[in-house]
Amino acid sequence: MVWFILFASLAGGAVFVERFIHFHRAQISLRDFLKGVKNCIRRNNYVEAVAICDDAPGPVPRVARTAVLMHDRSRQEIHEAIEAVAIQEERLLDKNLPVLWTVAQVAPLMGLLGTVIGMMDAFARIQEQEKLITATHLASGVWQALIATGFGLSVAVAAYVAYNFLVSRKNEMMRDMELCATEMMNAFAESERARRRDEFDLADS
């Protein structure tokens, strides 16, 4: 069973490294990104706003890009388009995370199973040797059987900590997407109010 636990730990480690790199590459400065996009929206330069979104990595720019491309639609249509993209991005962020969670849950069970098998084997040997068995032999068999449990718990703890770390990074990106969507809607509303003021001033003149 130790070999199975080792394989599970390698799988969990590979998932953690892949997700960590993915999240790191997708991380951006939300404040600077929104500042650049909103400046383009104020100037009604939506082509440049889309270019800024295309140049930035991660789910937040893709949400902003969708909003910019839908700027001439109703608020309801923009909101629905953003929500659809956010759902898709969340699925991409969740990719392979269930594997790490499964390792955290299964590793201690495999360790316990390995210990039970080891104890069964140890007592089977005791029964075979009858009076020739000593306390040293018994302790040795029990110690070897407990290795699986110790290894399984160690892998489970590491996998659980890694999973929670990645989930916290994912939730942070989800909050950034929500904030980005709100800021984009506010920017469109501000741009619309500015346009109406200009039309009103032009009509008065």
pLDDT digits (tens, 9 = 90+) for 110-133: 988 888 887 887 777 777 766 666
Helix, strand, coil abundance in the chain, percent, nearest 5: 90, 0, 10
The three-state secondary structure class of 196 is helix
Q: What percent of the chain has pLDDT over 70?
A: 88
Give the Å distances, CA to CA, from 127 to 6, 136, 139.
31, 15, 15
* pLDDT band at residue 191 under the 50/70/90 scheme: confident
Domain count, the chain: 1
Confidence at residue 130, expressed as pLDDT on a 0 to 100 scale: 62
Report DSSP letters for 15-69, one per residue.
Answer: HHHHHHHHHHHH---HHHHHHHHHHHHHTT-HHHHHHHHHHS-SHHHHHHHHHHH
Average pLDDT, the chain: 86
Average pLDDT over residues 157-173: 95
> Is residue 183 predicted with pLDDT exceeding 60?
yes
Closest residue by Cα to residue 179 from 22, 28, 25 = 28
CA separation for the pair 173, 93 (Å, rounded): 9
Range of the domain at 115: 2-204
Q: What is the DSSP letter of 95?
A: T
Q: What is the DSSP letter of 73?
A: S
For 108, the enclosing helix (H) or strand (E) is helix 97-129
Confidence at residue 147, expressed as pLDDT on a 0 to 100 scale: 87
Residue 92 neighbours by CB under 8 Å, 6+ apart: 59
